Amino acid sequence: MAVEFLATEMDTAVRVVHLASSLCVKVQDKLRLPSSTNGHVKSKDDDSPVTVADWGVQAIVSWVLAQVFGGQNLSIVAEEDTESLSKAESLGLLGAVSSAVNEALSEASTYGLPKPDKPLGTTEILEAIGRCSSVGGPKGRHWVLDPVDGTLGFVRGDQYAVALALIENGKVLLGVLGCPNYPVKKECLSNGCNNQSGAAGSVTKGCVMYAKRGSGQAWMQPLIPGGCPESATLLKVSSVDDPVLATVCEPVERANSNHLFTAGLTNSMGVR
């Protein structure tokens, strides 16, 4: 399919990532409450965590894509399955996922997305999650979703992303990243921004970034409660050419980065 025919796909992907990001914000806020973590986080067989947000985002994205593009030939590759969520001992967790999904979908129309006529039942939610079991491949069209990329950061209250892409015949056609905790303003990188909006209503953290194959551009929209903004900001490579003034980013998890090496490198470069 030609790039110019991706208008509906791009629009839907951006809007559903906005909606999914709003779900993540609410779930993460609940994780900060005392004694709430155990009911919203579960360990996989490899001991990595999975949360209400992981299943909730997957259910929302799957349901919306099926409504817009039809579910019969829809191929979605995603991370989570329904096996552990379907067990009797996970009834409370499934209830939490159901509550989060239906709360988010009740606001879908404000994001310009289809809204269910009535709250989805647990069977429908499990079906939506299970729809994301495609194995993908080099042929055909596949939506690829990581519902919460960086679950450890999510649980910790730190950085994570909702990542959605569309691949056709092995080529990435579009990509969308929802980053609810990413600092929109430069001063927040060092000082931190604990609120979603500033005193004047300007967003200080949280954004959705997206790009389309062949456009040569990438865009960013602020993440605002209850809907999608009408405008977007063109993303540009930083004009800083002095390494002393550069901002260095690295993974928080020690397993994913050599912090000692990075510290030595930045020190030798004189990075402030």
- Residue 47 labeled ligand binder: no
- Residue 79 labeled ligand binder: yes
- Residue 149 labeled ligand binder: yes
Cα(19)–Cα(100) distance, integer angstroms: 12
Task: Give the residue numbers marked as catalytic.
Answer: 54, 151
Q: Residue ranges for the binding site?
A: 79, 146, 149
Q: Residue ranges for the binding site for Mg(2+)?
A: 79, 146, 149
